[in-house]
Structure 1
Amino acid sequence: MNNKQALPWDNPRFRNWIAMVRAEKAVVRELTHALAPFDLKLGQLDVLMNIYRHPGMSQHDVARKLLIGRSNITMLLPQLEKQGLIRREGDKKDKRVMRLFLTEDGEARLMEALKVYTALIDRVMAQSTPAQCDAMGEQMRRIEEMLSGDD
């Protein structure tokens, strides 16, 4: 950059984007710490939440919903299965497809972890009015939609 070019941090959009990214990293750090007593990582919690909401979804569908590669989901699932939190069942119509379900222990651990997660979200989002919270969520959904069209 030469001296005549505007620096990115002089741009309010850049500064605000960086602030949002830093806030997200702070929340992830806090949540990672809060999930440790449950022997869960954030990615594992995401998987459990999706299986709870959509019992019987396929491994492929979970990966697509979480915007992660199939190799990542393939690494997460055996860990959750070994902990006794999920079970995989072959699809009755298509033997290549594995359907995912929470075990009783998986559902119980998820419910306890969700208490911690929602308390953190409530604490963080209390920094905004309901209208600001809704506007922020709408903006993030628009960004996600705009970028998912780039695939």
Structure 2
Amino acid sequence: MNKRQQLPWDNPRFRNWVAVARACHAVERALGAALQPLELKPAQLDVLMNLYRHPGMAQNELARKLLVGRSNITMLVPQLEERSLVKREGDEKDRRVNRLSLTSQGEALLMKALEVHMALIEKAMSAVPPNECDLVGEHMRRITEVLSAD
């Protein structure tokens, strides 16, 4: 960027993008702290939530859904298995595929974690009227689609 080019500080898109990024970081920090008593990390909660909603999901599908590499899932799953929260079973049709599902302990912990997560979401979004919450979500989904298309 040379001196003749406009710096981004005054650009509303830049300014608002930074605000979104800061909010995201603040939520991640707050969620991490709130989940500590349950000995759960936000990434682990993401896994539990997705397996609750999609039992029997393959590890590679889970990685795609969470927008992370397969190596991330390969590291997370054994941690959750050790705690008897997740079970891994081979696919009947393809032995290379592992299917994941929650154990009853995993489901019970997820329900506690969802209470914590929802309380944080309610606190964070309390300053925004419900119709504006929908608008924020709509914009974030559009941004995700645009960036996912690349």
When the two structures are superposed, what TM-score results if normalisation uses the length of structure 2?
0.96
Q: Which residue of structure 2 lines up, in the alignment, with residue 62 of structure 1?
A: 62
Q: Which residue of structure 1 lines up, in the alignment, with residue 10 of structure 2?
A: 10
1:45 to 2:45 alignment: yes
Moved runs in structure 1, 4+ residues, more than 3 A? 1-4
State the distance in 2 between where 1:9 and 1:120 align: 30
Q: Higher mean Cα deviation, 113-122 or 5-14?
A: 5-14
| Number of corresponding residues | 150
Cα 1:111/1:94, change in 2 over 3 Å: same
Q: CA deviation at 1:125?
A: 1.1
Letter in 2 for 1:34: A
- What whole-Å deviation, never above 9, does each CA across 1:100-120 have from its counterpart, x for those lacking one? 111111100110000000110
Q: Which residue of structure 1 lines up, in the alignment, with residue 23 of structure 2?
A: 23
State the distance in 1 between where 2:131 and 2:120 align: 19
Identical-residue share of aligned pairs (%): 63
Structure 1 runs not aligned, ≥5 long: none
Q: Which residue of structure 1 lines up, in the alignment, with residue 107 of structure 2?
A: 107
When the two structures are superposed, what TM-score results if normalisation uses the length of structure 1?
0.96
Q: Higher mean Cα deviation, 3-12 or 65-74?
A: 3-12
| CA-atom RMSD in angstroms | 1.0
